[in-house]
Structure 1
Amino acid sequence: MGEWSVAFAKAMSRRLLMREHLRRAALWAQKHSAESAWPFFDITEYIDPEFRLSPSLSCKLDQFLRGQPSGVKVTCRGAVRLAELRAQNPAMVPHDLPDLYEPLIRLYERGGEFITDNCGALDLTGVSFRPGRLQGNAYNTQVIPLNDAVLDALDAEGRVTFYASGDDRGTVFRRLLPQGGGQRDEVFSATLGWQPTTQLSTSGVDIECIQIYDQDAARLIEHAVLGSAPR
């Protein structure tokens, strides 16, 4: 579903999108007694076991998904079936849960599929991690906003560490170690994006900064881009 170079360049946003899917899938699985199928399943099988796509749409979908990994097949089919079920019978689809498949659709759009390896880890091409247990993913705070500007700001080619100013944590910095060597320190601006800075210091020489997780950086970037209060 995408070139490897694109998948590697967008590895961070794709990892967070997968984590957001795990969270949403846990909430949907709990609501519809689909815990045994978590994290990749067709939720319509649990909402309305009798629901079927039209033969023509089902055939087109099968052709489109031919050759894709099993997790991609079941979630793409689930996304199409859920959309059709919602269109035909809106009352059957819950409105108190976040869209189940949107994070995965964004992940696919950003450069690739995923597989589950023999050890149970999720391999997203460029990054892999263990999904953990359903209960550990079933929380109400979203991992990452599904906003292209925020997602794009998280990605870079090379190793990235995020920092925030220690006083109000309203400014987000990153230290980038490009694959070709060297180091770049940058600060995020909603209007200019990432800009070079000499302010970043973890030793207190310039300003005191603290290292933060990438999902915390996403919230600060969201605040800068959209003007919403960091969660």
Structure 2
Amino acid sequence: MIRLGDVESNASATPFLTLRPTTLDALDAEGEITYYAKVGNGHSRDDPAGIVRRRIDDGLTHDEAFTSDLRWEPSEYLTLHDLGHNDDDHVQITEIETATFVEWATPAPETRSG
């Protein structure tokens, strides 16, 4: 049940992100998923150099990066980082932060007039 509140509490409610279908498709995956933003060298959590994710599905680990082709593709980044090849660093991010990056990286669909 949703609590109605008052005008002040409703006006100060945190807005939520409305996602395009392409973004929702990019976030749709099986298993337990953890997302990471690649940071450092002038890039921050809010402006990452890229994003990667680790999916664990049926006991198998799948590491993937969101590429310039606007899709998740296999990546060795997390495994190599774990092995000490950590020239780049990363921080764990939320699904909403990941969605924001995907929205930013994915061109908006063209609108047709008339």
TM-score (norm 1): 0.36
Deviation readout 1:3-60 (Å, 9 max, x if unpaired): xxxxxxxxxxxxxxxxxxxxxx99xxxxxxx538xxxxxxxxxxxxxxxxxxxxxxxx
Whichever residue aligns with residue 36 of structure 2, its letter is: Y
Runs of 4+ aligned residues of structure 1 deviating over 6 Å after TM superposition are: none
- 1:57-68 aligned at under 5 Å gives the runs none
The structure whose Rg is larger is: 1
Q: Distance in 2 between matches of 1:211 and 1:139?
A: 22
Q: Which has the higher helix share?
A: 1
Whichever residue aligns with residue 30 of structure 2, its letter is: E
- 1:77-92 aligned at under 5 Å gives the runs none
CA contact (8 A) 1:164 1:212 kept: yes
Change beyond 3 A, Cα 1:147–1:163: same
Q: Which has the higher strand share?
A: 2
The percent of aligned pairs where both chains have the same amino acid is: 31
The alpha carbon displacement at 1:223 in A equals 1.0
Aligned to 1:199: 77
Q: Which one of the candidate residues 138, 155, 165 is aligned to 2:13?
A: 138
Change beyond 3 A, Cα 1:145–1:205: farther
For structure 1, list consecutive stretches of 5 or more residues without a partner in the other structure. 1-24, 27-33, 37-133
For structure 2, list consecutive stretches of 5 or more residues without a partner in the other structure. 109-114
Higher relative contact order (Cα pairs below 8 Å, separated by 6+ residues): 2
Q: Distance in 2 between matches of 1:220 and 1:164?
A: 9
* SS state at 2:66 partner: strand
TM-score (norm 2): 0.68
Alignment length, in residue pairs?
95
The alpha carbon displacement at 1:222 in A equals 0.8
